[in-house]
Amino acid sequence: MTTMIAPASERRLKNHTSIGDTVRNSFTMAYRGLLKIKRTPEQLVDVTVQPILFTLMFAYLFGGAIAGNVAGYLPTLIPGILVQTVITTSVVTGVQLREDMDKGVFDRFKSLPIARIAPLSGALLADTIRYGIATTLTFVMGYVIGYHPSGGIGNVVLAALLVIACSWAISWIFAFFGVIARSASSVQGISMIVLFPLTFLSNAFVPVKSLPEVLQWFVNINPISHLVTAVRELANNGAVTGDVWISLLGAAVIVAIFAPLTVRAYMRKA
């Protein structure tokens, strides 16, 4: 307080936030998210233990039954379990957002002249780190037990990026639940009820032909199936199929619907 404060009448003020400001604010909020991860590394347990445990479990449990042996099952399983793991991880985004919003610091964010969306988009952006960790560990685990995708490293990276991008988009759904729910545990509850059928009633773990007809119909329209197929084709064959574009389009639609909904709910809750 050594300097005198400029009076209100001498300040240059504007009543809107530019796109540049919005991006800058979001990245600052993402930096906050990364710092929080650094301070509480224990919250990374789900993205480190789950990929290793589930990959091992599913490979040895179902490998023999579904594909005759574990090695033959891996090209089917790894892309499937990758999608399932990373999307499940995006639920945590909603849960943590709910916990975060209950803290006093969100009152300050609301009182600052920043883009309204920044506290949300920043948190979601920081969580792509978590998806990155889960993706890497799943592929590494797969490699260790004998998964050697013939698409090559470049296509595996592309597939990884596709999964991360889609999970980021899907995390807006859980962010929405996070904003409207009363408590963190209810976010977890609602999200799991949505996710369990979506991830398991897909082509992630079993050949679609083995399913009853009604189920086949659902599995084929399930967006998760398209993402799994896209990842499989990319990683295993190095082929960019229509499923890639369907997945990206789906992701864009989800963001277009849920980002504004979430921000509006967040503002109303203010």
Residues that bind other proteins (CB under 8 A): 1-9, 11, 13-17, 21, 24-25, 28-29, 31-32, 35-36, 39-40, 103-114, 118, 270
C-beta of 8 vs 65, nearer to other proteins: 8
Quote the least distance from Cβ 95 to other proteins, whole Å: 16
Tell me, rounded to whole angstroms, the distance of Cα 34 from its chain centroid: 16
**Encoded amino acid at 149, one letter:** P
Quote the least distance from Cβ 255 to other proteins, whole Å: 23
Length of the chain: 270
Quote the least distance from Cβ 11 to other proteins, whole Å: 7
C-beta of 118 vs 227, nearer to other proteins: 118
Quote the least distance from Cβ 20 to other proteins, whole Å: 11
Q: Do 243 and 226 touch, CB atoms closer than 8 A? A: yes
Quote the least distance from Cβ 179 to other proteins, whole Å: 16
Q: Do 23 and 122 touch, CB atoms closer than 8 A? A: no
H helix count then E strand count, the chain: 10, 0
Quote the least distance from Cβ 154 to other proteins, whole Å: 34
d(CA 24, CA 199) in angstroms, rounded, equals 34
d(CA 176, CA 120) in angstroms, rounded, equals 10
C-beta of 24 vs 237, nearer to other proteins: 24
C-beta of 26 vs 225, nearer to other proteins: 26
Q: Rounded to a whole number, what is the distance in angstroms from the first to the last CA of the chain?
A: 30
Give the HSE-up count for residue 122: Cα atoms under 13 Å, Cβ half-sphere.
Answer: 25
Q: Do 149 and 155 touch, CB atoms closer than 8 A? A: yes
C-beta of 9 vs 210, nearer to other proteins: 9
C-beta of 24 vs 180, nearer to other proteins: 24
